[in-house]
């Protein structure tokens, strides 16, 4: 158990809908990362927050948004869902925001868009 | 543009032997970080090891070491004394610069450890 929690574990929804994925980092970790893993596109980095502020942006679509709240939990909002958004979404946390900081991953949320 | 290549889609190794998983990268940024992750069949992602481009020594973490050859732009992962639990997908990744930069992942190598 990494100490990072993600909810829900599974999510099934329809095209055009909007969903919210939640991540609680390990106690004391200030940085949160979001990744998407799909069969088509492999692993992709979406976005990183550090202590409530956006630190880095990757291949995140405009239909997707994220935020990190004062209690350091983070949410990833996916809207106007398409079939291609079906993927495993990982959250990870680290103490700081630096490259050398070990990232601890949550178990992931498996999103299925029908 | 950043690019990561992992040329071995699958590898087999006998238990207790060492194995090297290849990773080459392409970047024009002198400052970058290299990462290895493990994903067992259960699906969770595990961060293994990190190497900075300016680090003088190869990174090591227990049985994992990173064979960093900067001139060749390679960052191979070496696993010593393989265990059955090492069977998994292994991903190499790179992040250019410092903060604010994207991670780019390779396609992965599936390692199978044979008893």
Q: Which residues of A touch B102 (CB under 8 A)?
A: 45, 56-59
Beta-sheet strands, E only, within A58-99: 64-68, 74-78, 87-94
A89 touches chain B (CB under 8 A): no
Residue A95: is its pLDDT beyond 90? Answer: yes
Tell me the CB-side half-sphere exposure of residue B104, using CA atoms within 13 A.
Answer: 17
What is the band of B60 on the pLDDT scale with cuts at 50, 70, 90? Answer: very high
Position B100 scores a pLDDT of 62
Question: Could you read off the pLDDT of B82-101 as tens digits, one per residue?
Answer: 999 999 999 999 988 766 67
A34 touches chain B (CB under 8 A): no
Residues of B with CB under 8 A from a CB of A: 33, 35, 43-47, 50, 52, 91, 93, 95, 98-105, 107-108
Q: Which residues of A touch B101 (CB under 8 A)?
A: 56
From CA B50, how far away is CA A64, in angstroms rounded? 29
Position B2 scores a pLDDT of 63
What is the band of A97 on the pLDDT scale with cuts at 50, 70, 90? Answer: confident
The lowest-confidence range among A28-37, B42-51, B76-85, B100-109 is B100-109
Query: What are the DSSP calls for A41-65, one per residue?
Result: TEEEEEEEEETTEEEEE-S--TTEE
Question: Which of B3, B7, B61 minimizes the C-alpha distance to B37?
Answer: B61
Q: Which residues of A touch B108 (CB under 8 A)?
A: 42-43
Residue B1: is its pLDDT beyond 80? Answer: no
Position B98 scores a pLDDT of 62
Position A101 scores a pLDDT of 83
Mean pLDDT across chain A, nearest whole number?
A: 94
Q: Which residues of A touch B104 (CB under 8 A)?
A: 45
* Mean pLDDT score, A107-111: 96
Whether the Cβ atoms of residue A49 and residue A25 lie closer than 8 Å to each other:
no
From CA A47, how far away is CA A59, in angstroms rounded? 8
């Amino acid at each position: 158990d990494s100490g990072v929690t993600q909810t829900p574990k599974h999510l099934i929804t329809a095209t055009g809908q909007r969903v919210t994925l939640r991540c609680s980092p390990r106690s004391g970790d200030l940085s949160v990362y979001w990744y998407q893993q799909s069969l088509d596109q492999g692993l992709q980095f979406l976005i990183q927050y550090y202590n409530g502020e956006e630190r880095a942006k990757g291949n995140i679509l405009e239909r997707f948004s994220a935020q990190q709240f004062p209690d350091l939990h983070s949410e990833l909002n996916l809207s106007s869902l398409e079939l291609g958004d079906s993927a495993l979404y990982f959250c990870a946390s680290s103490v700081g925001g630096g490259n050398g900081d070990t990232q601890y991953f949550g178990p992931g949320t498996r999103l299925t868009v029908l | 543009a950043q690019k990561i290549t992992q040329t071995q889609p699958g590898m087999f190794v006998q238990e207790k032997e060492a194995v090297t998983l290849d990773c080459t990268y392409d970047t024009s940024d002198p400052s970058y970080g290299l990462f290895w992750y493990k994903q067992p069949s259960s699906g969770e992602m595990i961060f293994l090891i990190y190497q900075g481009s300016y680090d003088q020594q190869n990174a090591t973490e227990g049985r994992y070491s990173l064979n960093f050859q900067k001139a060749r732009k390679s960052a191979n992962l070496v696993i010593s004394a393989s265990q059955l639990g090492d069977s998994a997908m292994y991903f190499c990744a790179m992040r250019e610069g410092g903060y604010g930069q994207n991670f780019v992942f390779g396609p992965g190598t599936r390692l199978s450890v044979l008893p």
